Copies of this chain bind each other. A is one copy, B any other.
Amino acid sequence: MRLIETAGGFDLTLAGRTILRHRQDEPCLYVGHGDPRVEMHHGHFDIEDQIVERLGLRHASIDRQDGATRIDLSQAAGLDPLASLILTGSDKGGAIRLEAHDPALNRLWLRVVAEKAEHVWGGGEQLSYFDMRGRRFPLWTSEPGVGRDKSSFLTFQADQRSNSGGDYYKTNYPQPTYLSSRRYALHIDTTAYSAFDFRKDGFHELEVWAAPATVELWADDSFTGLVTALSDRFGRQPPLPDWVLKGAIIGLKDGDESFTRLEKYADAGAALSGLWCEDWVGLRITSFGNRLFWDWKWNQARYSDLDARIGQLHARGIRFLGYVNPYLCVDGSLYPEAAAAGYLALKRDSDEVYTVDFGEFDCGVVDFTNPAAAEWFADKVIGRNMLDFGLSGWMADFGEYLPTDVRLHDGTDGMLAHNAWPVLWAEVNARALASRGKTGEALFFMRAGYSGVQRHCPLLWAGDQSVDFSRHDGIGTVITAALSSGLLGNAYHHSDIGGYTSLFGNVRTPELLMRWAEMAAFTPVMRSHEGNRPRENVQIDEDARVLAHFAYMTRLYVHMAPYLRALSDEAAATGLPVQRPLFLHFPDDPRTYTQQESYLYGADLLVAPVIQPGVDRWTTWLPAGTDWVEVWTGATHQGGQDVTVAAPLGRPPLFFRRGSDWTALFQGITTVASTV
């Protein structure tokens, strides 16, 4: 980084890009004090800040030393500095440590230079907007909401019933990191509540609710270089297990009947890699639907002979997967054990266990800041009850619900622990795998995340979409989620085929299930889900046409396995995600910067899933710089144009680069036996 002093200020540049511009009348840093109101209701947070004081630090005093430059900032010359910037690093990358000198200062607002035409991506796993320019994004892990669109009646109903409608920026996995089209990446090392405000033409304003915080920066002429740098920073996933590539993981939660129903999939010609039964722990009936019994072990009443049946499945090359989350229901067997050992988070002002209402049942929160509790959960709960029992994977659900008024073992304030929690939760799961030597062999998948989850979690899933085509909570949000999280070093992403949340009479259509399966065949993992209300929603195995279509898609997925294996190897080497935004490989085509409905599957295949109902044609942008071959027709299209293609059910729009090394495989897609 380079610091250039000017009259009354300075410019900070990174490989020629101006990052900070500080002038007396336009200071780069404001500090202050906020008085927030934070309320949680079933993982939905209502957060409102009153800014008590916000001070522009206009006067800069620069002290250059070996290896680090220190800039003291005060409101005016002659006044004590209220904050300092400490600069370290090279021109390819560096860090700005923001220090405040008064403990009452609990807000930082840093203004980073922006250009009017700039685009920015990242923010963790974003569901509504891939290009974040023009909007403000609070970054706080939470339920994303049902509908997530204040103009939709579904959202209105969710808001009125339970304040759960959500909004465009709400996500299970936020992360204060972005890539800029100016070819740099920025990350704030903090677990505090933060917000990225990309609404202004001339600057991005980055808000952090705690000091100190460190702003990390990377510059690279290529976007792929930036992604690799971020993956290096946050950690690499192991490659996908081989067994996953053999077919779809079928989600059923029908007790013993799940095994019977699995055979319908096999009989229909579906390629199968796993049976996933989240109800392996038993059920609890609530008004939201059937919920699981949050006591993490085999429930023999719901699954008889499960131990033996897992072995039988395994012998056929089909794995069994289960479910776990970081909470323990008060009426389960593990809760008293954990409570007695002091493994649960406590209330702030008493020694009582803090219980969280999850909707008609209460749970304790395993306190992962207590090393003994984390070890117990990894070894005794996941290790013994799940891995040793024979599970090859699980959904590691939740992580977003840490209340801010808990008392934790290591003394961390809830406001700082909340965003850190998904990473602690991922770490416990990863430790369980490692304890049994199963890293890269067994697989868990998470929806919650935060900076660093990459290092521990081998697979993201896009959370609980509504069972529809809606703009902010339907099938299309899965693509935005994969692209945004992928840029930050999460190489593997997938989603619930058919979506999850069915409320207020909103139910799945066969068309939605089929469109979702078409998309999932071109993602790292194909996995179905029955949704929150299986009986009210059509299931794949209940509709012959849907089942046949699904089976065909699993065969397409298996056909793609050699390519996917190569992408997995590439991810392990470079951190590049399997699903990639178009601009990653076509940086010179500015039209690619705002595309969020299509993606590159590796470098050579462009996938443009149909994410609208009732259409049989689909229009998509083909990036400039190469010719594209339409898989189903073999037609060649020049890049740099919108093309419209036939897209009946069973034929997801697919285009490969002319001359790709994988041409034979891509052309072979049309030879896979179709049952559509």
Contact = CB atoms under 8 A, between A and B. Distances in A.
A32 B54 CA distance: 9
A307 interface: no
Contact of A79 (B30, B76, B156): B76
Interface in A43-86: 51-56, 75-76, 79
Interface residues of A, number: 15
Contacts of A56: 52-53
A260 interface: no
A51 B54 CA distance: 8
Contacts of A151: 160
Contacts of A30: 52-53
A294 B32 CA distance: 51
A247 to B, nearest CB: 44
Nearest to A76: B79
Contact of A54 (B53, B75, B79, B156): B53
Interface in A131-187: 151, 153, 156, 160
A75 B57 CA distance: 13
A440 to B, nearest CB: 48
A55 B75 CA distance: 10
Contacts of A32: 54
A371 to B, nearest CB: 40
A151 B157 CA distance: 9
Interface string A2-36: 00000000000000000000000000001010000
A442 B32 CA distance: 57
A37 to B, nearest CB: 9
A39 to B, nearest CB: 14
Interface string A587-621: 00000000000000000000000000000000000
* Most chain B beta-carbon neighbours within 10 Å: one of A52, A55, A156, A160: A156
A58 to B, nearest CB: 10
Nearest to A27: B53
Contacts of A76: 79
A179 B521 CA distance: 67
A79 B76 CA distance: 9
A76 B53 CA distance: 14
Contact of A52 (B54, B75, B156): B54
Contacts of A160: 151
A30 B55 CA distance: 11
A30 B156 CA distance: 38
A464 B56 CA distance: 45
Nearest to A205: B50
The 10 lowest CB-CB distance pairs between A and B, nearest first, are A54-B54, A156-B156, A53-B56, A51-B51, A151-B160, A53-B54, A51-B54, A55-B55, A53-B55, A75-B75
8 contacts: A30-B52, A51-B54, A54-B54, A54-B55, A55-B55, A75-B75, A79-B79, A156-B156
